[in-house]
Structure 1
Amino acid sequence: MGIVLRQGMKNTIFTYLGFLIGGIYTVLLVPKVFDEFPDHWGTARYLVSFALVIVPWAQLSIPNVIIRYFPIFREKKGRDFMFFISFWAIIGILTSLLIVYGFSDFIFADEKDPLILDNIYLIFPIIAGFVLFEIAAAIAKSNLKSTVPVFLREFILRLSIFILIIFYWFDIIEFNLFIQLYSYTYIAIFIALFVYLYYIKALKIRINFSAIFDTEFKELYIYAAFSILSTGAAMILLNIDTLMINHYLTLKDVAIYGPSIYIASSIMIPSRALQSIIAPMVAKSWVNNDIGLIKSLYKKSAIAPLSITIFLFLMIWINIDLVMDYFGKTFGQGKYIILFLSMGHIVNIATGINGTIINTSKHYRADLYFQVALVLMTVIMNIIFIPLYGLNGAALATGITLGLHNTLKSMFVLYKFKIHPFTIKTIYVMLIGALLFYIINQLPIIENLLISSLIYTFVFGIVYWAIVYFANISEDINDQINRFIKK
């Protein structure tokens, strides 16, 4: 776990810095800057969500192919492998963009909002930027250089958006220029990562068209075909709520939903930082048939992040009324959006790297069946819940789906590989979280919300970590606390 912890620490720092900046503009600026025109921010959110639904089909699952197969072909056919993925990356991007362009009249036939219709062409640079960056990031990860991609995606991207919002706020740029620059930031971070990969000599490639027909790469096509569908289903799962909110409600509601999603997703940071390191290690472990290491990574990928995730959720919930009060009348409708989404994320974290284990194993096809079924369930639940409960209904549908998705994948991993991420300490930390959540909801209301939040945050923070430490929930967490105390 040494390399995981070292790079994980760096990734966590950059991820938290990015989330801090993202939190400032999403939670503090967006409700104020876009209060008069929330549909402007709703347009930006919609364009990205729509692009993300297209991205898996455009990238042809090349990032997953790189993570899984680069350790196998690195020494023997590394240069041919790089040409192989580069060729199909170009084909995937061009084909997807041409299809979206050619069928745009049909795809957006029911769209009536002029802001979307006037700016729909901007999905093209967003799609291209996302695809190219994720492929480049996979190359970096496979070379155990995950920090720079995390730095660019989590920190630089959010810093750029923050600056654009400030410029828009102070009328330095108008909305049309804002939305254009917003869309092209995804191309910009890819260019930066490409330069880095060239600098570290990770782009060793040889033009060899025969590699496309190499029989040794035959398995890659089969893996990619299933992985495309699986990844596409997952991306639809994560973005369908935003698209369906626009369909059933308005762009204003899309904008309102955004800050609440951001707050809820902030509890995912510890897991995201570690998983970017663990994925190539799991892939290498399969190559070496080291199920023992996979089992160890599986458990450690769950308990420590789960402990931190529950803490972050409790801190958010202690301050939820203060946050909603700051958001104001327009954006301050997200209390239960945050609750429902957070519950789904907690289940996701608790079940560890089940998706990574499946996708890098010989049973990668199974993930597709889970995802397709859950996409259908999500669509159906959104159709039912959004008309009934509005934005809360969308969050409820997503939260339930995330929970079911990860529960089923964990059951599959247990059935096929006889491993699971749970220990008795998983139950302990869940019970600790549930008890403190109940107590928080029973706390007396203090008239001054700021003072109330500061007091309760401090007290519950100390209490939570004291319990986690003395119950020895996670050895990794206790080691870090002990090092901090010794300093």
Structure 2
Amino acid sequence: MAFFTIALFIGLFQFFDQWVFGFFEKNAPELIDQYWLIIILAAVLVYISIFEAYYKTQLNVVIPTFMREFLLKFLSGLLALFYFLNFISFEWFLRYTVATYAISLLLLIVILMFKGKMKFNFSIFQLEKPFIKEMMKYMVFIMAGAVGSVIVLRVDQLMVTGYLGTGINAIYVIAFFMGTVIEIPKRSISQMSDAIIANAFENERLDEIKKIYKQSSINQMILGSFVFILVVINLDNIYAIMPKGDEYSSGKWVVIIIGLSKLLDMAFGVNSEIIISSKHYKSNIYFVLILATLTVVLNMLMIPVYGLVGAALATFVSLFLFNLIKMIYIYYKLQFQPFSIHTLSTLFLSALCFFILTIVPQFSNPIINGAYLSMLTVIIFGLLMLFFKPSKEITKIIQPIRDKFNL
């Protein structure tokens, strides 16, 4: 299926490439020269997704998360350093970047082989036709939803490039990824909850799904709020340390708005996972289509008027409406929702922590100030969570610290 998907992508790309590249021809002509790299990267990413899904079915999210969140970022950072030191050209920087994804894929396969989990068979041909038909129908809906999700995640960057050029997009992309750091806790929680929710639906344990829904909401909100405060309170320090920080600091509000949009997305819990794992999975494609339409239209309206901030605002509004629609749908179909009184208390405690951090005295040295503010964030946020206990799970994690210091 991956082979046919890649072949389909190449065919469609060949058909639409003039139209696609025409959008970038004026402000980003250099993108057109990397046509073949796009094809190779797309193929590698397809197989990475397959093996990540295979790890997830074994409830093993540590290895794929390590590859995606640490190894790839470390290698990219290393390549960026080599480029800025003039060890490699920009063209080879792009080639080596694609190679890092290929290395990640190879490691995922090798680890499975060493664990004895890498087995091939053709048992699909022994399955009954009704099951294959149902499986194919499910795959088409899920694939369509996934394609829409990818478009939504990337379309703002592409439209910023088309409207404002690659130079401005560089500022936007860096700010965007600084904002998306906030959702790192969500990725691990979502990957682990997928299989558990699917199993609960299979065995009709709706109470368990309701519990997971609420737990994912409050725990993701707490973890996301902590990372959001940590990033935003240190923005000036980060830009002060960063090369050409004065230029990139124009993306400060992008970091804040994208961070808030990701925090909002986390607060709504595992709503997508619940819909995809339920018998109502077909409806997910309609939600994604609504989100894709909202994102494209809002970007078209806001980027020409508000520039970078307009793209960030478009993402915020789209994600809010997307999650609100899904929450209403789940409540209508299953009669449960993710929020509780602890949602309000977490909002208040996070706001209180941020307010305290804005009024404390600070150092002029950005490195010392960053370390100082980060330490204060950990202490103040941790103490507030310990004493007010909005989440039982978070309390269990930090309780040993309280016992050690007799707090």
Q: Aligned to 2:116, which of 168, 177, 201?
A: 201
Q: Work out whether residues 261 and 315 of structure 2, in 8 Å CA contact, stay in contact via their aligned partners in 1.
A: yes
State the distance in 2 between where 1:144 and 1:322 align. Answer: 38
Q: Work out whether residues 342 and 399 of structure 1, in 8 Å CA contact, stay in contact via their aligned partners in 2.
A: no
For these two proteins, the number of residue pairs brought into alignment is 399
Q: Work out whether residues 290 and 322 of structure 2, in 8 Å CA contact, stay in contact via their aligned partners in 1.
A: no
State the distance in 1 between where 2:292 and 2:44 align. Answer: 25
Match of 1:26 in 2: none
Mark the CA change 1:139 to 1:414 in structure 2 (over 3 Å): closer, same or farther: same
Match of 2:254 in 1: 337
State the distance in 2 between where 1:453 and 1:157 align. Answer: 25
What one-letter code is carried by the residue in structure 1 that aligns with 2:338?
Answer: P
What one-letter code is carried by the residue in structure 2 that aligns with 1:448?
Answer: S
Match of 1:448 in 2: 364
Q: Work out whether residues 345 and 403 of structure 1, in 8 Å CA contact, stay in contact via their aligned partners in 2.
A: no
State the distance in 1 between where 2:296 and 2:21 align. Answer: 18
What one-letter code is carried by the residue in structure 1 that aligns with 2:52?
Answer: A
| Superposed displacement of residue 102, structure 1 | 4.3
What one-letter code is carried by the residue in structure 2 that aligns with 1:348?
Answer: D
What one-letter code is carried by the residue in structure 2 that aligns with 1:382?
Answer: N
**Alignment partner of 1:334: what SS?**
helix
1:311-326 pair list within 5 angstroms = 311-326=226-241
Is 1:110 the counterpart of 2:26? The answer is no
Mark the CA change 1:151 to 1:454 in structure 2 (over 3 Å): closer, same or farther: closer
State the distance in 2 between where 1:445 and 1:320 align. Answer: 16
Is 1:467 the counterpart of 2:380? The answer is no
State the distance in 2 between where 1:115 and 1:382 align. Answer: 23
Is 1:404 the counterpart of 2:321? The answer is yes
**Alignment partner of 2:336: what SS?**
coil
State the distance in 2 between where 1:452 and 1:139 align. Answer: 43
What one-letter code is carried by the residue in structure 2 that aligns with 1:324?
Answer: Y
1:13-50, CA deviations, whole angstroms, 9 ceiling, x for partnerless residues? Answer: xxxxxxxxxxxxxxxxxxxxxxxxxxxxxxxxxxxxxx
Q: Aligned to 1:290, which of 192, 200, 205?
A: 205
1:188-227 pair list within 5 angstroms = 188-207=103-122, 210=125, 214-227=129-142
Q: Work out whether residues 302 and 421 of structure 1, in 8 Å CA contact, stay in contact via their aligned partners in 2.
A: yes
| Superposed displacement of residue 454, structure 1 | 4.9
What stretches of structure 1 of length at least 5 have no aligned partner? 1-87
**Alignment partner of 2:87: what SS?**
coil
1:44-443 pair list within 5 angstroms = 88-112=1-25, 113-207=28-122, 210=125, 214-327=129-242, 328-438=245-355, 443=359
Q: Work out whether residues 125 and 186 of structure 1, in 8 Å CA contact, stay in contact via their aligned partners in 2.
A: no
Q: Work out whether residues 10 and 39 of structure 2, in 8 Å CA contact, stay in contact via their aligned partners in 1.
A: yes
**Greater alpha carbon shift after TM alignment, 273-282 vs 451-460:** 451-460
| Superposed displacement of residue 199, structure 1 | 3.0
| Superposed displacement of residue 362, structure 1 | 0.4
**Alignment partner of 1:333: what SS?**
helix
Q: Work out whether residues 347 and 403 of structure 1, in 8 Å CA contact, stay in contact via their aligned partners in 2.
A: yes
Mark the CA change 1:242 to 1:446 in structure 2 (over 3 Å): closer, same or farther: same
What one-letter code is carried by the residue in structure 2 that aligns with 1:100?
Answer: F
| Superposed displacement of residue 110, structure 1 | 3.3
| Superposed displacement of residue 203, structure 1 | 3.6
State the distance in 2 between where 1:137 and 1:408 align. Answer: 28
Q: TM-score by structure 1 length?
A: 0.77
| Superposed displacement of residue 134, structure 1 | 0.6
CA RMSD between the two structures:
2.2
1:388-423, CA deviations, whole angstroms, 9 ceiling, x for partnerless residues? Answer: 111111011111111221122122112211122222
1:33-74, CA deviations, whole angstroms, 9 ceiling, x for partnerless residues? Answer: xxxxxxxxxxxxxxxxxxxxxxxxxxxxxxxxxxxxxxxxxx
| Superposed displacement of residue 323, structure 1 | 2.4
Q: Work out whether residues 386 and 399 of structure 2, in 8 Å CA contact, stay in contact via their aligned partners in 1.
A: no
| Superposed displacement of residue 444, structure 1 | 7.6
Identity of aligned residues (%): 28
State the distance in 2 between where 1:361 and 1:318 align. Answer: 40
Q: Work out whether residues 246 and 254 of structure 1, in 8 Å CA contact, stay in contact via their aligned partners in 2.
A: yes
**Alignment partner of 1:108: what SS?**
helix
Q: TM-score by structure 2 length?
A: 0.91
